[in-house]
Amino acid sequence: MIADRTQQPTYYNKIGFCTDGNEQNENAILAFFNKDCVNYGQVIKDKEKQIVFGSHKRKVIGNLSYDKISIAKVDGFCSALRERIKCSVREAKTFAKKRKTIRDLLNIYQAYHNLIDARYGETPCMREGITSFIWSWGKLLNAKIDVVK
């Protein structure tokens, strides 16, 4: 959950979200964050008979500028998930039937993305100063980590 992993936003230090036009996104954001501490915008795809012919942006909560409303990175991430975690594509023999399985697969992918998948010579954890090197699967799977609760 983002709410568990981030510093709670304030009125002067708002958290920003951009999603597609799915109504449940707004409900989920409001369930975990104070409305006065959120900037939220949507990119809504214009469709006719399941064919996308354009899109438009909409401010939902707060005052996020239109040039900041984008779902390109989210779409890219979802595309990467579909490529790498085949059970997320469609219901078939490999379809994950339990939420725990999906959560476990997403945790593995998150570790890969943040520690191993180096773009432009560094990983997201390197950019954030969490680690100073690109990890390998061997290093990741054999790491001894202290758990802080």
At 59, the pLDDT band (50, 70, 90 cuts) reads very high
State yes or no: pLDDT of 40 exceeds 60. yes
State yes or no: pLDDT of 19 exceeds 60. yes
For the chain, give the mean pLDDT: 85
Residue 149, domain member (yes or no): no
At 58, the pLDDT band (50, 70, 90 cuts) reads very high
Q: Enter the pTM of the model.
A: 0.62
Structural domain range at position 87? 72-143
The verdict on 62 and 83 lying in the same domain is no
Domain end, chosen from 50, 70, 90, is at 70
Residue 73's pLDDT is: 82
- Determine the average pLDDT of the residues in 23-40: 92
Residue 94, domain member (yes or no): yes
The verdict on 53 and 111 lying in the same domain is no
State yes or no: pLDDT of 26 exceeds 70. yes
User: What is the tally of structural domains in the chain?
Assistant: 2
* DSSP symbols for the chain: -HHHHSPPP-SSS-EEEEE-S-HHHHHHHHHHS-GGGEEEEEEEEEEETTEEEEEEEEEEES---GGG---HHHHHHHHHHHHH-GGGTSSSTT---SHHHHHHHHHHHHHIIIII--BTTB-HHHHTTS-SS---HHHHHH-------
At 88, the pLDDT band (50, 70, 90 cuts) reads low
The verdict on 84 and 100 lying in the same domain is yes
Q: Among the listed ranges 32-36, 101-105, 114-118, which one has the minimum average pLDDT value?
A: 101-105
State yes or no: pLDDT of 90 exceeds 60. no
The verdict on 43 and 13 lying in the same domain is yes
